[in-house]
Amino acid sequence: MSDQCPYQFDLMNPRKMSEGVPFEALKTLREKCPVARQDATEYTGEFWAITKREDLDFVSKNPALFSSSANMAHPQPGGEDPESAAIMRQLIINMDPPGHVQYRKVVKAAFTVRAVDALEPMMREYAKEIVDKIAPKGKCEFVSEVAAEMPLFVICALTEMPIEKRQRFSELVDIMIGMDDPEMDVTPDSGRMAAAEIFGIAMELAAKHKANPKQGSVLDALLNGVVEGEALTEMEFCSFFLILIAGGVETTRTATNHGMRLLIEHPEEMQKLVDDPALIPGAVEEILRFHPSFAYMQRTATEDVRIGEMDVKQGDIVRMYYPSVNRDADVFGADAEEFKVTRMQQSPDLKTQHRTFGIGQHFCLGSHLARKELTVMFEELIPRIRNPKLEGAPRNLVSSFIPGIKEMHISFDAE
């Protein structure tokens, strides 16, 4: 394979990725070989790395040519087992049309702009409580004390989860995302057990909701959802719950962590937000652009097809690298590799130009919810957490898929 692309990078090595997203390697591919065949390694079989936005958009907008179901949207431990694979294909992220479109409609109403905006007062009150706890101390472990709190609170509120179950639910989400991290000691069996426990929580919440219905919630949308005239089965309901809830917690937590890290590493950009808090919503878009919460998603070619200047064969895996396409100079300009909280002033359409939430039929249903959570959290943090500094290097999640942060100690001026 490498004779077709001389640029080979170990993009699927979890340990290497935990050292930081390889932006320089992705830049090389983007500029030299934007549709790059990558050789098999101990971590992956052969695949095509997609690193420019126009090519990512082509793949994303043509589900008939590029299947999410054939080999899943990302490699998953245990996915080779036929029974596990059959269950995984029931996750909406791994569905193809027409099924994907039909199931997506089931929960779409729960994530409308109007529905999410109605949650803002609750989010803001909780964000103030989070900051109140850390501000007098002048230091905190940001991941557990701040970043993990808001998305967990919001998702649990949306699903009517009682407070006594929230910590266990958070632990289960950590297990689900920690499959590649040796420190977390997660095996495929323990991952499946965590999923089963989440399914159990989902069924318990469903029973309570049926006894005391709450209209407009995510649970209400799922339990009353109809596909081809039929209500969701228990397995379909639990699968929806798993991907919507676990995904909603981790992606926003990762974005919050990297947002604070970026602001600490760019104090002049942080100061702009202190001086003018009205810039914060635009800064959130720049955070999302500059450091997406997923490294890639994958598709499988359903027939021979040309992407850019390369001929992709039926059955080939293609992986779309969001951290790369979000720094495409042809889209974002010569300064695309720079972090600028005022970028939205020069690019008013930034929100629709970056691809952190994807594009096409798999565009993230929770994008507005994530944006709202991030904006509210930073609007409460930035005026009160002054002169923040990193206390040692952050400890990253060992994963080729999620560029997450496990631990990040910071200090700041105590109130």
Short-list 410, 408, 400, CA closest to 20: 400
| Size of the chain, expressed as the number of residues it contains | 415
In order of 8, 38, 59, 313, the CA distances from 3 in angstroms are: 10, 10, 24, 16
Q: Where are the beta strands (DSSP E) in 44-131?
A: 47-50, 66-67
More confident residue, 263 or 74: 263
Sketch the domain layout of the chain as residue ranges. 14-411
- pLDDT tens for each residue of 210-244: 898 887 777 888 888 887 788 888 888 888 787 77
Q: Three-state SS for 411?
A: strand
Residue 250's pLDDT is 85
Residue 101 predicted with pLDDT over 80: yes
Render the burial of 3-31: b for 16+ CB within 10 Å, e for the rest.
eebeebbbbbbbebbbeebbeebbbbbbe
Residue 102 predicted with pLDDT over 80: yes
- Mention the CATH class of domain 14-411: mainly alpha
- pLDDT tens for each residue of 165-175: 888 888 887 78
Q: 77 CB contacts (<8 Å, ≥6 apart)?
A: 179, 188, 191
In order of 47, 190, 202, the CA distances from 195 in angstroms are: 28, 9, 10
- pLDDT tens for each residue of 152-196: 888 888 888 888 888 888 888 778 777 677 777 677 778 778 888
- pLDDT tens for each residue of 2-52: 446 789 999 999 999 999 999 999 999 999 999 999 999 999 999 999 999
More confident residue, 160 or 301: 301
What is this structure's pTM? 0.92
Report, as an integer, the average pLDDT of 345-358. Answer: 95
Q: Three-state SS for 37?
A: strand
Residue 369 has phi, psi (to 5 degrees) of -65, -45
Residue 325 predicted with pLDDT over 90: yes
CA–CA gap between residue 149 and residue 151 (Å, rounded): 6
| Lowest mean per-residue pLDDT among 66-80, 324-338, 345-359 | 66-80
